[in-house]
Amino acid sequence: MYIFINLLFLIAGCKWGDWRNWHQYYPTILFLIIGDLLYDFLLYNKSMWLFHDLILPNHTTITLLSMAVTYSATVLIYLGRFPEGWRKRSLWFLLWLGIFSLAEFINHEFGFITYHNGWNFSWSILFTVIIFLLLPIHYKKPLAAWVLSLIIILSLLSIFNVNLDDMK
């Protein structure tokens, strides 16, 4: 399933991504990847979700594939075609929220993602909202996005009772 999803994102990224200006988006792509790496590192022993696949061997390979393909394509399309005006931006945001939420819903229904330690689909939607709000902030004001991310990370660690002992 995840090979198929990443293939779709690769095709979409090639077709609609702003490759001409990829270097402008590169720091934001890294920001998104670092966030996921932090999750996998900090919550190694207390995962909120795990990916499963019929072909790819484990969560780590699925995550690394997504980081390389899906995240890059997403940033190149989402920010590369980011519209002017609040109405169009809101619709663009809702479109991407819908794409990611639908993909996760389907993956969850078929057992390709499982939730653990109090996480659920509602938390995933909220987290996706946060991601798509942070991407344009990071693109324009990286330091502000890092500060907001730190606050969000600390809040989530507190909400889900993740202690230092839970970390590797």
- What radius of gyration do the chain's Cα atoms show? 16
- Of the chain, the percentage scoring pLDDT greater than 70 comes to 99
- Asked if residue 44 has pLDDT above 90, the reply is no
Show the tokens assigned to 78: 């989402």
- Asked if residue 167 has pLDDT above 90, the reply is no
Helix (H) or strand (E) holding 105: helix 86-109
pLDDT mean across residues, the chain: 94
User: Residue 115 pairs with which residues in a beta bridge?
Assistant: 49
Q: Is the dihedral of CA 64, 30, 108, 2 positive or negative?
A: negative
CA distances 39 to 43, 44, 47, 83, 92, Å, are 6, 8, 8, 30, 26
Per-residue model confidence (pLDDT) at position 163: 83
* Contact indicator for 86, 143 with CB cutoff of 8 Å: no
For the entire predicted model, the pTM comes to 0.91
Of 25, 43, 44, give the one whose Cα is nearest residue 153. Answer: 43
Beta strand extents in the chain (DSSP E only): 49-51, 113-115
What number is the average pLDDT over the span 113-122?
96
DSSP structure class, residue 164? G
Greater pLDDT, 166 or 85: 85
Q: 34-57 burial, b for 16+ CB within 10 Å, e for fewer?
A: ebeeebeebbeebbbbebbbeebe
Per-residue model confidence (pLDDT) at position 120: 97
* Contact indicator for 48, 98 with CB cutoff of 8 Å: no
pLDDT one-digit tens code per residue, 10-31 = 999 999 999 999 999 999 999 9
